[in-house]
Chain A
Amino acid sequence: MTKNDIFFKTLVFIACLLPLTFLITNFFLQKLGANPVETIIRDTGLWSLRFLMMTLCITPLRKLVGWQWGMKIRRMLGLYAFFYACLHFTAYLWFEEFFDFAAIWTDVMERPFITMGFITFVLMIPLAITSTHAMIKKLGGKRWQQLHRLVYLIAITSILHFWWMADSKGVLTTPIIYAVIIAILLLMRIFFLKKSSKFLGK
């Protein structure tokens, strides 16, 4: 890694911690509103989804715009998506359910949006574990890549989690915006796939 790379990655690393910093600061300043726990759970979930979307932007940016620098931070963004998902999940387990595992089990089994959230979190775990260079080597590039295609499924389950939660009033404006962005990012993959298979065909 060059000096510039280290500087760039450090900068991104710190920037990715800003949402958490804001949450913690505002919590102690009592600026998270009347229901701080609700804000904490929603914000961490939303940031996980946002980091996931940023991760999915890297390849299209490389292929369409030719931006190579994204590859240097793709793993970090993906891990931050997992990091915020961990905070989200922990906040739910602790602040919302106070580790009442019977209630949590009922939630996971009977409430579709929580089922989807749980599936999303579980699917993220193997990707986080196999994110190191050592694991890539151990698995071999091709198998590693196949495993990490799970991210497309994660994108879908996480958007379903968000969509089915809606809010109590059934307003879907925000989930629709996120779903459209995810859909575009995923459709681009199909487009790339068709293009490359055509190229190979010739």
Chain B
Amino acid sequence: MLIKLPDDILSSEITPESIYQQRRRFIKGMALTAAGITTSALMSACNNQNGNASSSKTAPTQNAPVFDDLKSSEFNTDEELTKWEHAINYNNFVELGDGKTSPIKNADKLVTRPWSVSVEGEVDKPGTLDIEEILTQFDLEERIYRLRCIEAWSMVIPWVGFPLSLLLKRFQPTSKAKFVEFISIHDPKRLPGQRSDFPLVWPYVEGLRIDEAMHPLTILSIGMYGKVLPNQNGAPIRLVVPWKYGFKSSKSIVKIRFVEKQPLPSWVQAQPDEYGFYSNVNPLVPHPRWDQRTERRIGEFFKRDSMLFNGYAEQVASLYTGMDLGKNF
């Protein structure tokens, strides 16, 4: 895979080839990066108190490719990847502001270390996993997926992650676990979007049916383009459910709950006529304010046709046999 380095990095900041070659195992790389991020997060926190943001200081660390020898996946699409610069500049992550370019501007407001994910609810073995444990205990794969936003644009992103089911099974869900609820970070002191009068109730909540959560396409992602997940893309750990609209793929997750009743996702609570629990990509079910039959692939000028289940019908259509997809949108 070709990983382009942004051209704003000084050549002196790029790791020499010889050293890079020694980092064959991602774990070493991860340890370095994690330390780097912690340091730069602290640095930017200090600098912020003096009134200077220092996002430029964190950039080289975050841009360094750290994952290699990733397992490839049978689910990968061979479509052209979205440019890295677009994938990190055009985001919906309301916690970091409501415009498309606000998340990158406010990226340093999200503090990703220390971080842990607690798993609770209808499980035999509730518990908490530290992010460092998550990063080292799962076999990482590259998953190149289409990402379709409910706003009718799309991207192709090479995620780094592992199937969500591998993590969920560790906690031994009980027979009452019919749904899985994902709760994202709640930090109104730092996150500007959680202080504003934005019409969402915080923290951000999403949910999947248990069979959707256990599906092999559903992953937890900790990186993209071979690099650590940038903050504006949902660092340090996010969900990726490629056959559903992007907002179903919760960012910056801190809690996973197994529940018996269908969870009430934040967007469904805020605008029930526009957002549904399932939110499967479906060109035939229009959003009240726009058509879903077409989408603009970021990087292309004209729109292209959208696909049922975002092109993953072969893998997931059986989950919804007999269901009225218009009613259960």
Q: Give the interface of A toward B (CB within 8 A).
A: 33-38, 95-96, 98, 103, 106-107, 111, 113, 164-165, 167-171
Q: How far, in angstroms, from A107 to B291 measured CA to CA in the complex?
A: 8
Partner of B288, one of A38, A103, A111, A169: A111
| 4 closest Cβ pairs, A-B complex | A34-B90, A34-B86, A168-B151, A171-B98
Query: Interface size (B, Cβ < 8 Å)?
Result: 26
Q: Could you tell me if A35 and B199 are in contact, using CB atoms closer than 8 angstroms?
A: no
Which of B98, B153, B198, B291 is most buried by chain A, counting CB atoms within 10 A of its CB?
B291
Q: Could you tell me if A34 and B100 are in contact, using CB atoms closer than 8 angstroms?
A: yes
Name the interface residues of B74-127: CB closer than 8 Å to any CB of A: 86, 89-90, 92, 94, 98, 100-101
Interface-located stretch among B132-140, B162-170, B295-303, B318-326: B295-303
User: Chain A: which residue is nearest B302 at the CB level?
Assistant: A98
Q: How far, in angstroms, from A98 to B291 measured CA to CA in the complex?
A: 13
12 pairs, A vs B, C-beta closer than 8 Å:
A34-B90, A34-B100, A34-B299, A35-B90, A95-B302, A107-B290, A111-B288, A111-B290, A168-B151, A169-B92, A170-B271, A171-B199
Q: Give the interface of B toward A (CB within 8 A).
A: 86, 89-90, 92, 94, 98, 100-101, 150-151, 153, 198-199, 270-271, 288-291, 293, 296, 298-299, 301-303
Q: Which residues of B contact A111 (CB under 8 A)?
A: 288-290
A170 to nearest B CB, angstroms? Answer: 5
Q: Which residues of A contact B298 (CB under 8 A)?
A: 34-35
Q: Could you tell me if A165 and B289 are in contact, using CB atoms closer than 8 angstroms?
A: yes
Q: How far, in angstroms, from A164 to B271 measured CA to CA in the complex?
A: 14
Q: Could you tell me if A103 and B291 are in contact, using CB atoms closer than 8 angstroms?
A: yes
B205 to nearest A CB, angstroms? Answer: 16
Q: Which residues of B contact A98 (CB under 8 A)?
A: 302-303
Q: Could you tell me if B296 and A171 are in contact, using CB atoms closer than 8 angstroms?
A: no
Q: Which residues of B contact A168 (CB under 8 A)?
A: 150-151, 289
Q: Which residues of A contact B199 (CB under 8 A)?
A: 169-171
Q: Which residues of B contact A164 (CB under 8 A)?
A: 289
User: Chain B: which residue is nearest A113 at the CB level?
Assistant: B289
Q: Could you tell me if B198 and A33 are in contact, using CB atoms closer than 8 angstroms?
A: no
B81 to nearest A CB, angstroms? Answer: 13
Instruction: Please give 4 more A-B residue pairs, beta carbons under 8 A apart, in addition to A34-B299, A113-B289.
Output: A34-B86, A111-B290, A169-B198, A171-B98
B146 to nearest A CB, angstroms? Answer: 16
User: Chain B: which residue is nearest A172 at the CB level?
Assistant: B199
Known A-B contacts A113-B289, A170-B270, A171-B98; the reply to A35 vs B296 at CB < 8 A is yes
Q: Which residues of A contact B153 (CB under 8 A)?
A: 35, 38
Q: Could you tell me if A35 and B302 are in contact, using CB atoms closer than 8 angstroms?
A: no
User: Chain B: which residue is nearest A103 at the CB level?
Assistant: B291
User: Chain A: which residue is nearest B300 at the CB level?
Assistant: A37
A33 to nearest B CB, angstroms? Answer: 7
Q: Which residues of A contact B302 (CB under 8 A)?
A: 95, 98
Q: How far, in angstroms, from A95 to B198 measured CA to CA in the complex?
A: 31
Q: Could you tell me if A34 and B89 are in contact, using CB atoms closer than 8 angstroms?
A: yes
Which of B199, B288, B296 is most buried by chain A, counting CB atoms within 10 A of its CB?
B296
Which of A96, A111, A169, A171 is most buried by chain B, counting CB atoms within 10 A of its CB?
A169
Q: Which residues of A contact B92 (CB under 8 A)?
A: 169
Partner of A37, one of B101, B198, B290, B296: B296
Q: Which residues of A contact B271 (CB under 8 A)?
A: 170
B97 to nearest A CB, angstroms? Answer: 10
Q: Could you tell me if A36 and B301 are in contact, using CB atoms closer than 8 angstroms?
A: yes
Known A-B contacts A35-B90, A35-B296, A165-B289; the reply to A95 vs B270 at CB < 8 A is no
Q: Could you tell me if B293 and A103 are in contact, using CB atoms closer than 8 angstroms?
A: yes
Q: How far, in angstroms, from A200 to B26 measured CA to CA in the complex?
A: 85
B198 to nearest A CB, angstroms? Answer: 7
Q: How far, in angstroms, from A113 to B101 measured CA to CA in the complex?
A: 24
Q: Which residues of B contact A107 (CB under 8 A)?
A: 290-291
Q: How far, in angstroms, from A169 to B298 measured CA to CA in the complex?
A: 19
Q: Which residues of A contact B86 (CB under 8 A)?
A: 34
B184 to nearest A CB, angstroms? Answer: 16
B32 to nearest A CB, angstroms? Answer: 30
A141 to nearest B CB, angstroms? Answer: 42
Which of A103, A106, A168 is most buried by chain B, counting CB atoms within 10 A of its CB?
A168
A136 to nearest B CB, angstroms? Answer: 40
User: Chain A: which residue is nearest B275 at the CB level?
Assistant: A168
User: Chain A: which residue is nearest B291 at the CB level?
Assistant: A103
